[in-house]
Structure 1
Amino acid sequence: MTKRMPVVAANWKMNGSRELVNQVLLQIKQSGVCQDIEVVISPPATLYSYFDEQKKIHELDHVFLAAQNINELDNGALTGEISVGLAKESGCQWVICGHSERRSLFKETSKVTAKKFMKALNAGLKPILCVGETTEEKETGKTFSRLTAQIEAVMHLGGKQAFKDCLIAYEPIWAVGTGQAASPELAQEIHRFIRGMIASICPETAKTVRILYGGSIKPENAAALFSQPDIDGGLIGGAGLVPEQFIKICQLA
């Protein structure tokens, strides 16, 4: 059985501060959690460079900085947007692509997400592809077809090698920010489906690709979720803003 290094990623969204950067990095170093797992932090873009500087000061080589989003174009008259080049120059090593809030609030299509995914990959950054279904899609039995469409959009653009050096995060939209996580059994069923879909085009990649669960993970439910065979870690929202909770989740991974 292929052993996959667990990953715990925190998406701060439009929250955080330099002080929080300092607190989180200090607790990561003191706890030593990054010796056994990969830790990824995704703060707002204004904190990228500061985070990168502080990470180097603390000598945390297994803590990675992720951009929350990039534009699919390299440059242009796009006020407020950030290109992959700007993200990389600011120290980002990973990129979140297609987060549920980008898809729902900003109407980002799977085609645009796929372009961002490939832009990150071609720039040498590791993309985290977020996929998931809405409450309505879940209740009408469209979960698997929705996930298939989101993943196929990337396959169509990048071919069977697209997922060789990336992560996939299953984040059911009905669980994000609600406090109601998917049950470990349901999450495992979905993760097994995603891995099986990758296996259908590239069996070797399916063994090594890491699939994270995202959606109301907290210390109380993390252990049960992480114990599932196809769940390789988590994409953390609210708990990622509370250093003690985040460190506990990392320890459970």
Structure 2
Amino acid sequence: MSNRTPLMAGNWKMHHGPAAAARLAAEIGAAASSNQGVDVALFVPFVSLSAAVSAAGRRLQVGAQNAHERQSGAFTGEVSCAMLAEVCPLVLLGHSERRHIYGESSTLIGSKVATALESNLEVVLCVGETLDERESGATLEVVSAQLAAGLDSVGGEQVSRVTIAYEPVWAIGTGRNATPRQAGDACRAVRDWLRDRYGDAADVLRILYGGSVNPGNWAEIAAEPDVDGALVGGASLEAESFNRLIAISAAA
């Protein structure tokens, strides 16, 4: 890794209600306090936000997994960025499950990013290609288009509050993982795109890898110079495995 502080971010998806969230956040928060060289975050279900925030301690950030692009209105079941900003400091946007299960377009995700930043939330923006897109050689084209739309309204003065998570869709929850070189090459391509758009600011922006990360494969991936941490799914659902990942990052 570079001199950018690594970020280990867990995405609990639709797991862990308030009681479990409080317990796990306390355990992970303790590990975050013991590993000062790593930033740690958890993206938790809406109903668990307050419990996790209360239990997290000083060094563990808690965020939401989604938000609406509008700040208020007749949108039953939705949660606005303004509401989230009263509870937590960051939000995950553009996850592949939002794109592919719920049909969220890159344009819509870009609107959410803009609204989140206007609400003083920090954003982790996910980008990544499917297996068909990778095998057809379209990875760079797909990821570049997602970045262009997702960051369409983000100026140079705002981009410092954005982290990019590269998540190859074919490696999420499948047990199939990109090789360290594939992960590093993709994250470097993301940084090159950011440099073209934002200049030297790209050198301080963090780029995460997300795709079946676990304690057995993380050390090699973490050694790639353009990989600045991970967006972790299944391995973040238990404190033991996620805390091992935090320790590996601290030692990298």
Q: Which residue of the partner structure matches residue 164 of structure 1?
A: 160
- Is residue 151 from structure 1 mapped to residue 141 from structure 2 by the alignment? no
Residue equivalent to 2:21: 21
What's the CA shift string for 1:13-38, capped at 9, x where partnerless? 11113343233233234433452211
Q: Please say if 1:232 is aligned against 2:213.
A: no
Alpha-carbon offset, residue 92 of structure 1: 1.4
Residue aligned with 2:26, SS: helix
Distance in 2 between residues matched to 1:20 and 1:180, nearest whole Å: 28
Question: In the TM superposition, what are the counterparts of 1:171-186 in structure 2 within 5 Å?
Answer: 171-186=167-182
Cα shift at 1:2: 6.4
Does the residue aligned with 1:130 lie in a helix, a strand or coil?
A: strand
Q: Could you report, residue by residue, the CA deviation over 1:180-227 in whole angstroms, capped at 9, with x for unpaired residues?
A: 111100000001111011111222211100000001000000111111
In the TM superposition, residue 160 of structure 1 has moved relative to its aligned partner by: 4.1
Offset at residue 3 of structure 1 (A): 1.6
Partner of 2:12: 12
Deviation of the 1:113 alpha carbon: 0.5
Question: Which residue number in structure 2 is paired with residue 64 of structure 1?
Answer: 61
Q: Give the AA of the match of 1:224.
A: E
| Residue 29 to residue 13, structure 1, CA distance change in 2 (3 Å) | closer
What residue ranges of structure 1 are gaps of 5+ in the alignment? none
Aligned to 1:199: 195
Is the Cα–Cα contact under 8 Å of residues 12 and 237 in structure 1 kept in the other structure?
yes
Unaligned 5+ segments in structure 2 are: none
Identity of aligned residues (%): 36
Pairwise CA distance, 1:76: 1.2
In structure 2, C-alpha distance between the alignment counterparts of 1:34 and 1:147, rounded to whole Å: 32
1:82 lines up with 2:83 in the alignment: no
The equivalent residue for 1:48 is 49
Shift of the 54–155 alpha-carbon distance from structure 1 to 2, 3 Å rule, reads closer
Pick closer, same or farther for the CA change 1:44–1:34 going to 2, 3 Å: farther
- 2:93, 2:128 → 1: CA distance? 12
Decide whether aligned partners of structure 1 residues 33 and 136 sit closer, same or farther in structure 2, where only a CA change above 3 A counts.
farther
- How far apart are 1:79 and its partner, in Å? 1.2
Distance 1:25 1:159, change over 3 A: closer
Residue type at the aligned position of 1:4: R
**Separation (CA, whole Å) in 2 of partners of 1:155 and 1:246:** 29
Q: Distance in 2 between matches of 1:25 and 1:49?
A: 11
Aligned residue among 214, 220, 223 for 1:218 = 214
Partner residue of 2:136?
A: 140
Q: Is the 8 A contact 2:110 2:150 kept in 1?
A: yes
TM-score (norm 2): 0.94
Distance, in Å, in 1 between the alignment partners of 2:111 and 2:129 is 20
CA contact (8 A) 1:170 1:211 kept: yes
Q: Which amino acid aligns with 1:12?
A: W
Residue 118 of structure 1, CA deviation: 1.1
Please report the TM-score for the alignment, with normalisation by the length of structure 1. Answer: 0.93
Secondary structure of residue in 2 paired with 1:180: coil
Contact 2:172 2:210 survives alignment (8 Å): yes
- Residue 106 of structure 2 aligns to which amino acid in structure 1? S
CA RMSD of aligned residues (A): 1.6
Q: Call closer, same or farther: CA 1:161–1:137 in 2, change over 3 Å.
A: farther
TM-superposed CA distance for 1:103, in Å, is 0.3
Residue 39 of structure 1 pairs with residue 40 of structure 2: yes
Higher mean alpha-carbon deviation, 23-32 vs 137-146, is at: 23-32
Aligned counterparts of 2:35 and 2:17: Cα–Cα separation in 1: 22
Q: Closer, same or farther in 2 for the Cα pair 1:154/1:161, shift >3 Å?
A: farther
Q: What corresponds to 2:3 in structure 1? A: 3
